[in-house]
Amino acid sequence: MIPKDRLQETFDYLKQFLTDERLSKIEHFSLESSDFVLPVMEDVYQFRNAAAIVRSVEACGFHHVVALEEENVFNPNLKVTKGAETWVQVEKMPNNLDSLKEIKSRGYRILAVSPEKNATMLPDYEVKEPIALVFGTELEGVSDEILDFADETLAIPMFGFTKSFNVSVAAAICMYELKQKLMKSGIEYQLSDQKLLELKIRWAKNSIKSSEQILERFLGS
């Protein structure tokens, strides 16, 4: 853990190990990053779905995913992520209510993506506070336990015989639509100064070979 008062100093030090192109991208894309919407994946078992979710989340400017693991390991296929795993932090937690209570304690409203419980349709949903968006398993959807715990449910309108989208497609639609809503809302949804610096340091570290050793020497000096 880097002390708060050394975050800027640390990032400034790491800049010398980055190419101009990589540094420019980090500076540019970090400004639009947000943790206002937190995707939470419930025991996703298909690695291609896991990878597609990570890729879609990153493309929408969100860089944190929570994977609730029970029987399956959230292990994205790197061929599908196309490098997005470099930028997205995957936080793994047990698939139980204690994990959701922990997420809720961080200030998130829990939304389960499901047509159950008199769900609000995605186009009609108004973002007013940070939300944790829970997506269920590929076969079963969101578990009853999570549906009962959630503050509300959110559904994607369907216009054909098919009742639902694949979980990775549903995640892409929700994250894109919610990002558009945030951009039009007037809400300050971008990262705080501290979180922004922490993100840029993490991205820099993931871009530099032997970054852990470099940082250890710098912070120990």
Q: What is d(CA 131, CA 73) in angstroms, rounded to the nearest whole number?
A: 24
Q: Predicted confidence band at 75 (pLDDT cuts at 50, 70, 90)?
A: low
Q: Predicted confidence band at 82 (pLDDT cuts at 50, 70, 90)?
A: very low
Q: What is the mean pLDDT of residues 202-212?
A: 92
Strand order in 131-135's β-sheet? 89-94, 64-69, 37-42, 131-135, 109-113, 152-155, 120-121
Residues in a beta bridge with 34? 62, 190
Q: List phi, psi (to 5°) of 132.
A: -105, 120
Which pLDDT does position 94 carry in this prediction?
92
Which domains are assigned to the chain? Answer: 34-206 (3.40.1280.10)
Q: Is this structure's pTM higher than 0.85?
A: yes
pLDDT in tens, 121-160: 999 999 999 999 999 876 788 999 999 999 999 999 999 9
Cβ atoms of residues 48 and 19 within 8 Å? no
Q: What is d(CA 165, CA 199) in angstroms, rounded to the nearest whole number?
A: 31
